[in-house]
Amino acid sequence: MKLKKKEKIFEYIFTLFIIITLNFALPRMMPGDPFLHNTGGEGEVFTTHTVEQIQYYREYYGLDKPLYIQYGTYLKELAKGDLGYSYYYKTDVLSIIYKRFPWTILLVFSALGFSIIFGTILGSISAWYRNSWQDQILYILLIIISEIPAFLIGIFLLVVLAAALNFFPLAGSISHFRDYSSNFEKIIDIAQHAFLPVMTLTLARIGGIYLLVRNSLSTVLNKDYVRTAKAKGLKEVRIKYIYALGNALLPLLTRVSLQLGAMIGGAILAESVFAYPGLGLLMRNAVSVRDYPLIQGIFLILALMVMIANLTADLLYKKIDPRV
């Protein structure tokens, strides 16, 4: 048992090392130079640097040194908890991420919660009424929705519910220059801005959870202990929600950890569609201006979130099912 724990710890440490290495290498493999010009948005060029200025900036930030020296410096600074200094925003990366991180957390975990709740409910209905018309309609509908890319779902919701019907704001996370009469009014405003991005991520990921619950619960319903519970005359509600569904949801823990990674990837696209000021939109802007430290910082934070989710799923799975 101790050997397996050591192997697991080594796996996570090795994975973290690979992530850090890729985090350093991938931005530098992109074409372009971070100091060739400063861009403000979609193709807007504000300042173009001279050759002398580019050379000065490269020396100032250490990009003129060999890659192995840059890599060593990156590891040393990372060990101190320093994520670097943004080339574009001219401030430390950690403070930039700190301001944007809560908005991404709001989107990701709200969408994850809703996809689990609705996916479990719909998957349970399909399993309990397997091969009925309810099951067939739900199966076809959710398979179709799950095959549509998240950004297309987002654009459709933006055009219909925001632009055409004016039910929700077009962009942003909060109304600027608005005086709120209470904290509740502010929460409602934030919820209205977050509704469409959360709905986009939920619709894009609900299909996987639905299929998992449907198939897992269908298998559990044919187990001997479920038949025994029916033979004892136990109430149908107790059989469905305690005996059957409780055991069918064990694989969902593993799915949730994988779902979190997919949610984070989808959040980058959703935030771009709705101009939502989270890490996803920040990542897109950082890539467009080749801001290496900012790209590295965002990627590392998102990767650590996924690793923590995987570790949590492992620990919870062992607690719930001691046979693991």
pLDDT digits (tens, 9 = 90+) for 162-215: 888 888 888 888 888 788 888 888 899 889 999 999 999 999 888 888 888 888
Token pair, residue 126, equals: 């399909």
Backbone angles phi, psi at 92, to 5 degrees: -70, 145
Cα 191 from chain centre:
18
Phi-psi group of 167: left, alpha or beta (phi > 0 → left; psi -120 to 50 → alpha; rest → beta): alpha
Domain borders along the chain are 102-320
Full-model pTM = 0.79
Residues pairing with 27 in the sheet: none
CA gap 108, 149 in Å, rounded: 17
Task: Give the pLDDT score at 45.
Answer: 46
What's the CATH number for 102-320?
Answer: 1.10.3720.10
Of 205, 196, 202, the residue nearest 164 (C-alpha):
196
The packing angle between helices 279-288 and 292-320, to 10°, is 150
Backbone angles phi, psi at 85, to 5 degrees: -125, 125
Query: Please, are residues 9 and 307 in contact by the beta-carbon 8 Å criterion?
Result: no
Amino acid, res. 16: L
pLDDT digits (tens, 9 = 90+) for 220-274: 767 666 666 666 666 666 666 665 666 666 677 667 766 777 777 778 888 888 8
